[in-house]
Amino acid sequence: MQSTESKSKAGSSSEFGSQTGRTLLNLRGMLLRGDFQPGERLSELPLVARLGVSRTPIRLALDRLAHEGLLESSPTGGFVVRAFSIEDIWDAIETRGVLEGAAARFAAERLEHDSELAQLRECRDEMDAMIEVNGDPDKIAAPDIDSYARYLDLNEAFHREIVTLAKSSMLRRTLDQVTSVPFASPSAMVYVYAKLPRAPQILAVAHEHHRSIVEAIENRQGARAEALAREHARMTRRNVELALYDASILSSVPGASLIKIPAAV
């Protein structure tokens, strides 16, 4: 039987882990919302007062955000908010494409049972239903504003499931770090699709990629799945390029305040 002391320690450990996780999510959200500016110094004590937690979860969250690349160590102690160049964004998107391409290929090559695809198909089918007009796959419309959150969840789940099917913890860890860079994640531009020029056409191409990737994995076509996933990731770059020319679109994208926009854009 577990002792009272052991139970107490387990409870404290669980509470600590939860507090650290919440602190990490809060700080990451603040960074992506623009609550801190590029080059701004972050240190533990002011954040303790601001977030109402102890120094230990703050310290662990700052270390994690530095590992993700959103913060940089300051020579004078603490951390500073990182600024991202346009080249950083392009490199992150291209790297994500390489990694997601590898994930799709692994998924096709390592698929053992057709039943493993159930969740991926469910995501695809629910997105189909949300964006097709009257059930016609040739007619696509962006989800209404009330449905965007669900569509975002489905899109993220679709991409996560491909990584799960790849059965590679190494690839998962590397991809998590790359997609922490603003604009590089699969869902970075989903919320602004409706504001982009030719939004229905862009969404139609993106979702056709989803369908084709599932089909390639189903048929164990590793090379095709990889090429489709890489092309799908490149759509993020084209959408970011469109957003750079419209401040109203750019400002609605998480992490936009961290980007150093060239004066010529």
Over residues 174-195, mean pLDDT: 76
- pLDDT bracket for residue 17 (50, 70, 90): low
Residue 11 has pLDDT above 70, yes or no: no
Residue 212 has pLDDT above 80, yes or no: yes
Residue-level pLDDT at 236: 85
Percent of the chain with pLDDT over 90: 44
Give pLDDT tens digits for 102-157: 999 999 999 999 999 999 999 999 988 887 655 666 666 666 656 777 888 898 89
Give pLDDT tens digits for 187-199: 776 666 666 667 7
Residue-level pLDDT at 48: 93
Q: Please report the domains of the chain, with CATH numbers, ordered by start residue.
A: 4-81 (1.10.10.10), 84-260 (1.20.120.530)
Does residue 232 or residue 238 have the better pLDDT? 232
Q: Across all residues in the chain, what is the average pLDDT? A: 83
Query: DSSP string spanning the chain?
Result: ---HHHHHHHHHHHHHHHHHHHHHHHHHHHHHHTSS-TT-EE-HHHHHHHHT--HHHHHHHHHHHHHHTSEEE-TTSSEEEPPEEHHHHHHHHHHHHHHHHHHHHHHHHH---GGGGHHHHHHHHHHHHHHEETTEEEEE-PPPGGGHHHHHHHHHHHHHHHHHHHT-HHHHHHHHHHTTSTTTSTTTTGGGGGGSTTHHHHHHHHHHHHHHHHHHHHTT-HHHHHHHHHHHHHHHHHHHHHHHT-HHHHTTSTTGGGEE--TT-
Name the least confident of 35-44, 159-168, 192-201, 218-227: 192-201
Residue 3 has pLDDT above 50, yes or no: no
